[in-house]
Every structure is written in C-alpha cells, then in structure tokens.
Structure 1
C-alpha cells in the first residue's frame, strides 16, 4: 500500500496501557497477531446489542460466551449477527432481556407511542400553565 492509500485507510481506536489512539486497520491486525502469538492477547467474538430502555435506547458490544451464552446468542441473533434486548426496571433495578428482532420492533413502536403521548400531555400542561399566567 502506498502513502495515498494510507491516507484513506480504515482506522480503529485501540487502548493500550490505558491510552487510546487511532491506528490503521492494517497496523492493528499486525499488533493483534503478534500479541495473540505471544499469549498477551486473546480474540473474543463480540456482537452488537440494540437495547430499548425507558432511559433511552442505546447499543452495547457484548462478548459471546461471556456476557451472552453461546446458545442464547445462536438462537436469538439476527441475520446481521446483532442481538436485540429490552431493559426494564423492577424495584428500581435494571433488568435486560434478550428478545427477537420482531418483538424488539414492536416494543420500539410502543415506546415511541408512549413517548409521543407523554410529549402531548406535557404540551397540554404547559399550555394550561401559560394560560393561567396570562390571567
């Protein structure tokens, strides 16, 4: 690869010894191969998890076999390899359940409707308060 190709090559953020830096993917691959061969690093399969939550939707990266059992991952992963989950709070404690993408999409629609209803109720309340202030 020439200097021109290096300008536009994909870069990956890595953390080594508590310091983060961006390196070209090619350099990352070389670093990892050496570290794995020396027994200083291991390669784990990870997946992206799309989480619907009352606190706001987010994505996380989970390690398969560690944060999600292999069997559960294989059963619930989508075509892209991603997982979908729903976070609820029971007695103030968060609980995450991995669900199918189809159920996740239905839950996303319902959460969207709840948000819209809440926004509309807040607007009505603010309008009433504004009306009372004018009197």
Structure 2
C-alpha cells in the first residue's frame, strides 16, 4: 500500500510539534505495573503467551516510529508490523474487514495483528 502522505512541511517547528504529540500519546497509553500484569495474565489465559509478546513488540516498534507515522498517517488506523505499515484506512472497521480475509494472514502461525490509530497532527 502506498503511504498516506499528509504533505507536512519538513521544518524543525513541525518536527518538534510532532515529537510532542508522539510523546503525549505514548504517555497516555502507559499502564501501571498492576494494569500491565492484569493484561498479561488475561492474554496468557485467554489468547496466548505468543500473542501477548507479539503485541508488546509491535507496541514498542510503533512507539519508536510514532513521529514518522504521524507525518505520514496522521489520524489514520494502521496495521503495523515489524516497523512497517502493512495497510491503513481512515475507518478501523473497513481496515479490519480488509485485513482478516487477506492472504497475508493465512500463512501466519500467530493469530494476532496490531492495529492502532495514529494520533492526528493538526497544523
């Protein structure tokens, strides 16, 4: 899929605003140790250990790449995997409807996917 380019100007001011948006989004998503332990236990019990660790890896990579994601996919839902946007859409349900019947999922050994909304940058 071709990147959704929001045509953000490359300037130090824009980059600083985007960095701040990324930092705020990451901070808002942080869980307490207790919340993280509960989430981990639920995953292990109902979904699986492999899926939990897959999600943690994708989350870490997503957060690391968040400033660039904001530049290119501001306000979009992205299917993010191993540092790459696999697909995206403005509508999460449309994106999921496109992903699940996809051939890309049929050959996988893990059933999890990582879909997140990229924070919106409004100049």
Give the TM-score taking structure 1 as reference length: 0.23
* Structure with the higher strand share, 1 or 2: 1
* Structure with the higher helix share, 1 or 2: 2
RCO higher in 1 or 2 (8 Å CA, sep ≥ 6)?
2
Between structure 1 and structure 2, the one with the greater Rg is: 1
Give the TM-score taking structure 2 as reference length: 0.24
